[in-house]
């Protein structure tokens, strides 16, 4: 596979030009006018051109698309269960196979983006996504519905790699971090919008409309992408220098781009000389960052976030929220809105306080709130596939609601965004593409495991048991971060790269907390 960048974040960033390593995401001004004579490479040279705004919209739409599909299923399950009379296992399949499709999509997206270009790949993903949403909406039975879920997932997976990659290659360095964090924010906004649609449609239990609506952001993405060109970096790679110059001129709002295209050419030549094979990715030298990337990706899921995102209505039903209305409202505000707001906090704080302190506070809060939720479920009824409440809301039900708010907030300012930040900054540039792909695939696999087996596990070890297992994984995450993850705040990508081979530097970074 000719993939140099099969990942959902800016893995192809030129060396030393790290998108996330030290970019204070919140402190980067979006709009500033460049002085007339700023030299190439000068950050003041890049105004917020129309093209850049359009690229921002593309990345937002791709994130919303991803998030919408994560969130929407929570409100749709009840109607699907009634219409198709499906088993718990099949409901879990309908929920989780988007994730499986996304894993497949992400794995081939790098090769597609290299061969077809970033623009065509994003268009292809949007078409796939629209088709999948329509298959879901008109599915005559559960088999076709599952096929629709897989197709949608595949589209989401491809878009989630190609769109941030495209944005990272289009944005000037000073805006790159912000563009990437926009993506995480857009995912949470997508989840919120999905919950809102679920709430509005909850009376008629129109699950077909809930799923079909997801064609809207996909079509908007086609409209937003259509007039844009491919990235200068891809044009240079494809030997189309003139197109590269034209694209860069549009991004920067100036024709004086020759030197910058030369720089891109040199960095691509460099990459080609040191291009990593899969063997290099798994070499002893990079074992530690690979272990950190994969473990954080997996632990982000095993601490339970998507069990709650996907099965929120069912959890609130078990907690005594009797009407579909009250379940959807709890899901909308306690999970959806809190997730968006707390993600803003991460964007503002991650570069000020560093990754590790936020991870420690976040996993502690997540773990404690899960212990509380588990304890409440000793009294409450079991979480089941249907969202018919078995009792009225009690004190335990309300405490569960509050504890879930704390859990979501703690996730959203810690494990949610920071795992992606770390995964994208710990690998040297020549292995970054493939290594981030491995970590991403591991993340989706773990997400699939949780979504697929959550209800089954509840049957096996009780709701309390499952929440306490998630809590135990929070403790494992805390221990793992303490034991293995160095602080990367304020370090350049080069410093991080050399740190892995320099025990003294690594020890110093381990002590920074």
Q: Which residues contact ligand BGC by CB under 6 A?
A: 70, 187-188, 300, 305-306, 309, 339, 416, 443, 447
In the complex, minimum distance from the CB of residue 3 to ligand BGC, in angstroms, rounded to a whole number: 21
Nearer to ligand BGC, 327 or 440 (CB): 440
CA distance 100 to 41: 41
Q: Are 46 and 34 in contact (CB under 8 A)?
A: yes
In the complex, minimum distance from the CB of residue 310 to ligand BGC, in angstroms, rounded to a whole number: 9
Other C-beta atoms closer than 10 Å to the C-beta of 510 total: 16
Q: Give DSSP secondary structure letters for 131-159.
A: HHHHHHHT-SSHHHHHHHHHHHHHHHHHH
In the complex, minimum distance from the CB of residue 507 to ligand BGC, in angstroms, rounded to a whole number: 30
CA distance 225 to 203: 35
In the complex, minimum distance from the CB of residue 197 to ligand BGC, in angstroms, rounded to a whole number: 17
Which of these, 324, 484, 318, 497, lies nearest to 394 by C-alpha position? 318
Nearer to ligand BGC, 167 or 447 (CB): 447
Nearer to ligand BGC, 234 or 310 (CB): 310
In the complex, minimum distance from the CB of residue 340 to ligand BGC, in angstroms, rounded to a whole number: 9
Nearer to ligand BGC, 156 or 210 (CB): 156
Nearer to ligand BGC, 320 or 416 (CB): 416
In the complex, minimum distance from the CB of residue 173 to ligand BGC, in angstroms, rounded to a whole number: 24
Nearer to ligand BGC, 137 or 451 (CB): 451
Residue nearest ligand BGC (C-beta atom): 416
Nearer to ligand BGC, 180 or 499 (CB): 180
Q: Are 207 and 108 in contact (CB under 8 A)?
A: no
Nearer to ligand BGC, 55 or 194 (CB): 194
DSSP 44: G
In the complex, minimum distance from the CB of residue 273 to ligand BGC, in angstroms, rounded to a whole number: 34
Q: Are 365 and 413 in contact (CB under 8 A)?
A: no
CA distance 469 to 449: 14
Q: Are 180 and 60 in contact (CB under 8 A)?
A: no
CA distance 218 to 252: 27
In the complex, minimum distance from the CB of residue 444 to ligand BGC, in angstroms, rounded to a whole number: 8
In the complex, minimum distance from the CB of residue 416 to ligand BGC, in angstroms, rounded to a whole number: 4
In the complex, minimum distance from the CB of residue 70 to ligand BGC, in angstroms, rounded to a whole number: 5
Per-residue tokens: 282: 């798994």
Nearer to ligand BGC, 276 or 309 (CB): 309
In the complex, minimum distance from the CB of residue 296 to ligand BGC, in angstroms, rounded to a whole number: 11
List phi, psi (to 5°) of 58: -60, -50
CA distance 316 to 461: 19
- The burial class, CB within 10 Å (0-12 / 13-18 / 19+), for 392 is exposed
Nearer to ligand BGC, 202 or 443 (CB): 443
Nearer to ligand BGC, 183 or 235 (CB): 183
Taking CA atoms, 270 is separated from 369, 429, 500, in Å, by 49, 10, 21
Q: Are 351 and 343 in contact (CB under 8 A)?
A: no
Which of these, 239, 298, 312, 414, lies nearest to 78 by C-alpha position? 312
CA distance 322 to 390: 8
In the complex, minimum distance from the CB of residue 113 to ligand BGC, in angstroms, rounded to a whole number: 20
Nearer to ligand BGC, 327 or 443 (CB): 443
Q: Give DSSP secondary structure letters for 316-359.
A: HHHTT--SHHHHHHHIIIIIIIHHHHHHHHHHHHHHHH-HHHHH
Per residue, the 3-state secondary structure of 178-230, as one string, reads: HHHHHHHHHHHHHHHHHHHHHHHHCCCCCHHHHHHCCHHHHHHHHHHHCCCCC
């Amino acid at each position: 596979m000719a993939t140099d960048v099969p990942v959902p974040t800016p893995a192809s960033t030129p060396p030393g030009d790290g998108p996330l390593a030290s970019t204070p995401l919140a402190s980067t001004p979006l709009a500033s006018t460049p002085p007339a004579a700023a030299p190439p490479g000068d950050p003041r040279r890049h105004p917020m051109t129309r093209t850049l705004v359009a690229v921002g919209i593309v990345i937002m739409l791709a994130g919303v698309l991803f998030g919408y599909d994560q969130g929407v299923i929570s409100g749709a399950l009840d109607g699907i269960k009634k219409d198709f009379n499906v088993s718990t296992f099949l409901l879990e399949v309908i929920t989780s196979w988007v994730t499986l499709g996304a894993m497949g999509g992400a794995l081939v997206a790098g090769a597609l983006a290299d061969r077809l270009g970033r623009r065509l790949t994003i268009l292809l993903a949007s078409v796939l996504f629209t088709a999948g949403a329509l298959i879901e909406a008109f599915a005559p039975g559960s088999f076709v519905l599952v096929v629709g879920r897989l197709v949608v997932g595949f589209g989401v997976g491809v878009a989630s790699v190609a769109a941030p990659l495209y944005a990272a290659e289009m944005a000037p360095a000073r805006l790159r971090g912000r563009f990437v964090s926009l993506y995480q924010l857009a995912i949470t906004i997508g989840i919120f919008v999905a919950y809102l649609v679920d709430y509005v449609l909850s009376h008629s239990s129109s699950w077909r409309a809930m799923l079909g609506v997801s064609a809207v952001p996909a079509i908007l993405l086609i409209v937003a992408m259509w007039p844009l060109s491919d990235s200068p970096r891809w044009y240079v790679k494809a030997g189309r220098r003139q197109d590269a110059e034209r694209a860069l001129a549009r991004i920067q709002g100036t024709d004086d781009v020759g030197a910058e295209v030369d720089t891109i050419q040199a960095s691509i030549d460099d990459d080609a000389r040191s291009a990593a094979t899969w063997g290099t990715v798994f070499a002893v030298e990079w074992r530690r960052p690979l272990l950190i990337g994969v473990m954080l990706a997996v632990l982000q899921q095993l601490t339970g976030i998507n069990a709650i995102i996907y099965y929120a209505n069912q959890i609130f039903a078990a907690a005594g929220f009797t009407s579909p209305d009250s379940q959807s409202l709890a899901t909308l505000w306690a999970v959806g809105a809190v997730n968006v707001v707390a993600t803003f906090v991460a964007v503002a704080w991650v570069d000020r306080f560093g990754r590790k302190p936020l991870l420690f506070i976040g996993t502690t809060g997540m773990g404690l709130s899960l212990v509380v939720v588990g304890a409440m479920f000793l009294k409450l009824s079991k979480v089941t596939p249907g969202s018919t409440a078995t009792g009225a809301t009690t004190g335990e039900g309300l405490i569960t609601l509050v504890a879930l708010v704390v859990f979501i907030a703690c996730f959203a300012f810690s494990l949610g965004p920071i795992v992606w930040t770390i995964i994208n900054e710990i690998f040297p540039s020549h292995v970054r593409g493939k290594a981030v792909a491995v970590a991403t695939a591991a993340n989706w696999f773990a997400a699939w495991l949780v979504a697929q087996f959550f209800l089954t596990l509840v049957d096996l070890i009780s709701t309390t048991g499952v929440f306490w297992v998630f809590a135990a994984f929070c403790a494992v995450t805390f221990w793992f971060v303490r034991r293995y993850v160095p602080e990367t705040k304020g370090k350049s990508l080069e410093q991080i790269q050399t740190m892995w081979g320099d025990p003294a530097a690594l020890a110093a970074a381990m002590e920074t907390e």
